[in-house]
């Protein structure tokens, strides 16, 4: 199932088109039952125990803690009842890394390698030929149409259970090209701490991602402590069918919902039916989610993770083919959104980097 990610051997590569492509929905049922990670332990009256140890003691951290205190203070004027404490988190670039390409695109490339023996025509057909030969210039040159074809060929035509199995196999075996680690290690320790703290304080934490919902659900509970029903993402249409008398849901080549930009508030509304009180993103694709969240009355928190650390992770914002951050960065002060400077605000990024 797993192939060498030779595509990464070539660089620099024009990923503009690749990155501009909203990642499509992907299949789920679930992994075998696994308890979500326990929230950080906190002694009842021991404020000395830092709930966010990977965050430096900067104004960013203090603003986050202040927000949590105020909305959970039953005697305060800004108290929010527990069932309305909805927090939404973008995934790519906010909870896990998205460089050198979105992890789901790496998955799609690996799928092309895995499926190639059944598709001899791919040897001559772009963008598959480019993927197989590690020639991503050709892949990018195939444009949006080529990439939609690539995503569809690697993501649909199977049942939701089958696709969840493929994702699980990949996530358990694939390794990130730069760090030679499983992709599920490429998660931000400070954000895992924040997720745990929010849940401990009565929040429901949701993933709201442009990535495929069925690409995330099989591992989100194990990695983030977020169960399938709290993962929102892009999705393809599925159809109920009987196969030998047994019902299945078949994944069709039809992008039913693109959960990016203005699609994020729509996805939130469809699945949650409540407006979040806190939202966390890192790119212009999160602008509307933050706007929708923080423009409501009452105390609200919007936060942008700014990638500023090329050494420990990556540094990018304007003009980046992946996770471009321009408008949201420019307008953050006017909206009162926090901007996390990863280099300055985080003393650890990935859990495996120690600290």
> Which stretch in 148-156, 235-243, 310-318, 340-348 sits in contact with a copy of itself by CB under 8 A?
235-243
Q: Which of residues 73-92 bind a copy of itself (CB under 8 A)?
A: 81, 83-84
CB neighbours of residue 211 within 10 Å:
28
Give least dist CB 340 to a copy of itself, A.
Answer: 23
Stretch that binds a copy of itself, among 15-23, 39-47, 220-228, 310-318 (CB under 8 A): 220-228
The stretch among 65-73, 94-102, 125-133, 224-232 that binds a copy of itself (CB under 8 A) is 224-232
Across 258-298, the runs of DSSP E, i.e. the strands, are 278-281
With CB under 8 A as the rule, give the number of residues binding a copy of itself: 41
- According to CB under 8 A, which one of 3, 17, 141, 249 is a site residue for a copy of itself? 249
In the range 254-293, which residues lie near a copy of itself by CB under 8 A?
Answer: 262-263, 265-266, 269-275, 288, 291-292
The span from the CA of 354 to the CA of 338, in Å, is: 26
Q: Is 333 an interacting residue with respect to a copy of itself (CB under 8 A)?
A: no
Is there binding between residue 299 and a copy of itself (CB under 8 A)? no
Reference 285, options 305, 259, 317, 313; nearest CA is 259
Contacts (CB under 8 A) with a copy of itself, residues 21-40: 28-30, 33, 35-36
Helices (H), the chain: 16-20, 59-72, 103-115, 128-133, 136-141, 143-155, 160-173, 189-200, 213-224, 263-271, 287-294, 327-335, 342-345
Alpha carbon separation from 307 to 100, 183, 294, 312, 341 (Å, rounded)? 13, 18, 22, 10, 7
Nearer to a copy of itself, 97 or 271 (CB): 271
Q: Is 282 within 8 Å of 94 (Cβ atoms)? A: yes
Residue whose CB is less far from a copy of itself, 80 or 342: 80
Residue closer to a copy of itself (CB basis): 61 or 275 = 275
CA–CA separation, 295 and 173 (whole Å) = 42
- What's the longest Cα–Cα distance across the chain? 68
Residue 63 or residue 272: which is nearer to a copy of itself going by CB? 272
Q: What burial class does residue 49 get, using C-beta atoms within 10 Å of its C-beta: 0-12 exposed, 13-18 middle, 19+ buried?
A: exposed
Instruction: Map residues 170-209 to x or -, x wherever contact with a copy of itself holds by CB under 8 A.
Output: ----------------------------------x-----
Distance CA 170, CA 107 (A): 7
Q: Which of 45, 118, 121, 240 binds a copy of itself (CB under 8 A)?
A: 240
The whole-angstrom separation of Cα 230 and Cα 233 is 10
Q: Which stretch binds a copy of itself (CB under 8 A): 15-23, 116-124, 169-177, 243-251?
A: 243-251
How many beta carbons lie within 10 A of that of residue 339, not counting itself? 18
DSSP code of residue 191: H
Least distance in Å: CB of 227 to a copy of itself? 6
336 binding a copy of itself? (CB under 8 A): no
Rounded CA-CA distance 86/185 in Å is 26
By CB under 8 A, the residues from 90 to 149 that bind a copy of itself are: none
Binding residues vs a copy of itself (CB under 8 A): 28-30, 33, 35-36, 81, 83-84, 160, 204, 213-214, 217, 221, 227-229, 231, 235, 238-240, 246-247, 249, 262-263, 265-266, 269-275, 288, 291-292, 295
């Amino acid at each position: 199932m797993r192939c060498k990610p030779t595509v990464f051997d070539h660089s620099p590569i024009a990923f503009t088109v690749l990155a501009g492509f909203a990642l499509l929905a992907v299949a789920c049922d679930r992994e075998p039952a696994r308890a979500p990670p326990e929230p950080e332990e906190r002694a009842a009256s021991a404020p000395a125990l830092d709930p966010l140890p990977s965050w430096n003691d900067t104004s960013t951290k203090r603003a986050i803690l202040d927000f949590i205190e105020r909305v959970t203070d039953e005697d305060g004027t800004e108290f929010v009842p527990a069932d309305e404490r909805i927090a939404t988190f973008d995934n790519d670039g906010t909870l896990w890394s998205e460089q050198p390409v979105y992890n789901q695109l790496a998955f799609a490339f690996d799928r092309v390698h895995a499926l190639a023996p059944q598709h001899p025509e791919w040897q001559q057909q772009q963008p598959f030929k480019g993927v197989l030969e590690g020639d991503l210039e050709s892949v990018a040159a195939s444009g949006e149409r080529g990439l939609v074809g690539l995503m569809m060929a690697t993501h649909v035509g199977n049942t939701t259970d089958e696709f969840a199995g493929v994702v699980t196999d990949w996530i358990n075996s694939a390794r990130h090209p730069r760090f030679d680690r499983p992709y599920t290690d490429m998660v931000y320790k400070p954000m895992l701490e924040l997720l745990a703290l929010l849940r401990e304080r009565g929040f429901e934490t949701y993933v709201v991602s442009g990535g495929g919902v069925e690409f995330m659900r099989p591992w989100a509970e194990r990695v983030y402590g977020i169960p399938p029903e709290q993962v929102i993402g892009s999705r393809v249409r599925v159809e109920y069918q009987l196969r030998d008398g047994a019902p299945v849901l078949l994944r069709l080549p039809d992008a039913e919902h693109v959960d990016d930009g203005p699609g994020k508030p729509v996805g939130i509304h469809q699945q949650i039916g409540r407006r979040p009180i806190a939202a966390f993103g890192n790119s212009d694709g999160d602008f509307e989610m933050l706007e929708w969240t923080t423009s409501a009355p009452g105390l609200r928190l919007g936060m942008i993770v700014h990638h500023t650390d090329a050494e420990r992770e990556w540094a990018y914002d304007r003009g980046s083919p992946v996770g471009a951050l321009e408008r949201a960065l420019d307008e953050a002060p006017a909206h009162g959104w926090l901007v996390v400077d990863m280099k300055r605000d985080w003393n650890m990024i990935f859990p495996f980097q120690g600290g």
